[in-house]
Structure 1
């Protein structure tokens, strides 16, 4: 059966606070015909991430283009090639690209990356945030055997993998942070965390000192704000702190009141602490490395892929809203 139209999710209005369903609209549009050098992809899965809330604003500090009003949003997606005239791709190939939030995507061949068929036991695993987690653990925090590691935002798509990866790099003790007791229990019971700091359950620094009486050697920071301040206070001499995200600012409902992190630079200097901002766009070589590592880990049971999965393009706005509300543990995937 020939499909003549498809659905896409467009940004209908700029947010003035939290993500709400009325900020989006679903439009039905004709399926385009690819020209030579273009690829038409039927998307099968897409992911949502906290940065998408930031990109809904007209102006951001993120080095990415904001979403345009009236146009479809974008983000990581995988799908099957329908047609690719004049390219090396063939119908049926599984590809990854950045034009999610739509059931079909038309893009230049250079924007579609062919994936190894059958590598992942679940194709959605290609949409994990594992490359960022691996980058922060290996190259940012430089986790070593015997380290005590603190991962902020441990229940998110990045943090839920960062703790597992820290173990693979020899961490002796892994401590996370999250926003609820229920998530803390899952991090300890399912994902191998030794202890969890709960946001709102008392001063973060006091909780972290109790969880890490001998201090922390490596920090994977997704959050900033009070949690980063606490990590610096509890860090041992020579500790390595990787700044991988800034959720305290990204998810602030009032940008003028976004969390700021006060840093005592003399304290960093006297304890020889490394504070390093690190972003995946400078470490893209880790993506194929991660895919092989993750595929093996999923097949052997040494790694898991915590995620929530919603079905249908119409669920994409809800998926982003629930992610920003902290409703899920791990990645949030929409099956199209």
Structure 2
């Protein structure tokens, strides 16, 4: 029977303001041979995401906060290396939510087998082919009700979700897509690679003025990943009947003071606007529809993506902190080096 040593990243204390490395700790867990119905998985990629910052606070949210002294959960993809569950034999590629670890072991029901995509990295299942792409699709369709010809504004457009939103909006018939990003390089990438018609650097000046200049005829849809001044700017330029899909508010994730609300909320009334927040769990029924469309778009070569890769489970915290500071383009991922014992059997 085999044992395995797993390196895992845990929350040591709740961050106040911006997280620091001292808020995390590394633990080593020894797994004995899997019990009947369990599998051991060697991760290939681990995801770090903005929503994780909110779960580090002990506050009411749509999911419970991370517990202190426990491994941080979240999306990961890996391969079964030891199996005591016939439905997931050794070698099966699986998605799961066991999070920040190089090796995980649990009941087979907590893993989902996914097909290999020839010629593509398994990492794509953690973003454009997975929850990231689905988030963009749900926000544009089920939440914002995108219509052909709509003008769409996307905040935080160079991140994993934002790069997906711009492309999918165009593929669904949007007439014009506008994005914001935080560096000149990202701004250029939005228009040159991701199909945005215009983009601006929110650090160059007042966001309200920049968006007004970019959208002289107003916007119909706002896909918000940022909140704060971006939401306020969108409320200024919405056309009558505009719709907002509120996906994230990263501008306020690390604040220690209450953030002032927009000064133009009356526009919601006078322009008959609809602002709706969402989380993905309630819309997983749209996954088959999304997967069918995405498979077609991908096969036609109409989907672009970027990954920012950090190697080694020991660098997961650095990857997370860099992502929160906007150092990534596209999806930020931690790559786990293959293990010599990848072919173990129980």
TM-score by length of 2: 0.89
Q: Give the stretch that moved more between structures: 214-223 or 108-117.
A: 108-117
Partner of 1:209: 212
Question: CA offsets, 1:264-306, max 9 Å, x none?
Answer: 24x3233222211222010112334444444444443210122
Partner of 2:284: 284
Query: Are the equivalent residues in 1 in contact too, given 2:193–2:304 (CA < 8 A)?
Result: no
> Aligned to 1:234, which of 224, 232, 237?
237
**Structure 1 residue 174 displacement after superposition:** 0.6
Spell out the pairing of 1:167-316 with structure 2 (5 A cutoff). Answer: 167-250=170-253, 252=254, 254-258=255-259, 260-262=261-263, 264-265=265-266, 267-316=267-316
- Gaps of at least 5 residues in structure 1 are none
Query: Are the equivalent residues in 1 in contact too, given 2:151–2:177 (CA < 8 A)?
Result: yes
Query: Are the equivalent residues in 2 in contact too, given 1:19–1:320 (CA < 8 A)?
Result: no
- Gaps of at least 5 residues in structure 2 are 337-346
CA RMSD between the two structures: 2.1
**Structure 1 residue 198 displacement after superposition:** 2.4
Residue 101 of structure 1 aligns to a residue in which SS?
coil
**Structure 1 residue 27 displacement after superposition:** 2.3
Taking a change above 3 Å as real, the CA distance of residues 312 and 296 of structure 1, as seen in their structure-2 partners, is: farther
Query: Are the equivalent residues in 2 in contact too, given 1:224–1:260 (CA < 8 A)?
Result: no
Residue 33 of structure 1 aligns to a residue in which SS?
coil
**Structure 1 residue 222 displacement after superposition:** 1.2
Taking a change above 3 Å as real, the CA distance of residues 260 and 119 of structure 1, as seen in their structure-2 partners, is: farther
Residue 283 of structure 1 aligns to a residue in which SS?
helix
Taking a change above 3 Å as real, the CA distance of residues 21 and 288 of structure 1, as seen in their structure-2 partners, is: farther
**Is 1:131 aligned to 2:134, yes or no?**
yes
Question: CA offsets, 1:45-75, max 9 Å, x none?
Answer: 1110011122222x13431222222221111
Question: CA offsets, 1:233-275, max 9 Å, x none?
Answer: 201112111111121222x2x332435345524x323322221
**CA separation in 2, counterparts of 1:108 and 1:270?**
53
**CA separation in 2, counterparts of 1:205 and 1:222?**
16
**CA separation in 2, counterparts of 1:158 and 1:95?**
22
**CA separation in 2, counterparts of 1:32 and 1:182?**
48
**Structure 1 residue 319 displacement after superposition:** 0.6
**CA separation in 2, counterparts of 1:292 and 1:92?**
25
Runs of 4 or more above 6 Å deviation: none
**Structure 1 residue 210 displacement after superposition:** 0.8
Partner of 1:155: 158
**CA separation in 1, counterparts of 2:333 and 2:99?**
11
**CA separation in 2, counterparts of 1:303 and 1:259?**
38
Query: Are the equivalent residues in 2 in contact too, given 1:188–1:195 (CA < 8 A)?
Result: yes
**CA separation in 2, counterparts of 1:224 and 1:135?**
19
**Structure 1 residue 86 displacement after superposition:** 4.2
**CA separation in 2, counterparts of 1:127 and 1:310?**
15
Partner of 2:342: none
Partner of 2:113: 114
Q: Give the stretch that moved more between structures: 99-108 or 34-43.
A: 34-43
**Structure 1 residue 131 displacement after superposition:** 1.0
Query: Are the equivalent residues in 1 in contact too, given 2:85–2:108 (CA < 8 A)?
Result: no
**Structure 1 residue 157 displacement after superposition:** 1.2
TM-score by length of 1: 0.92
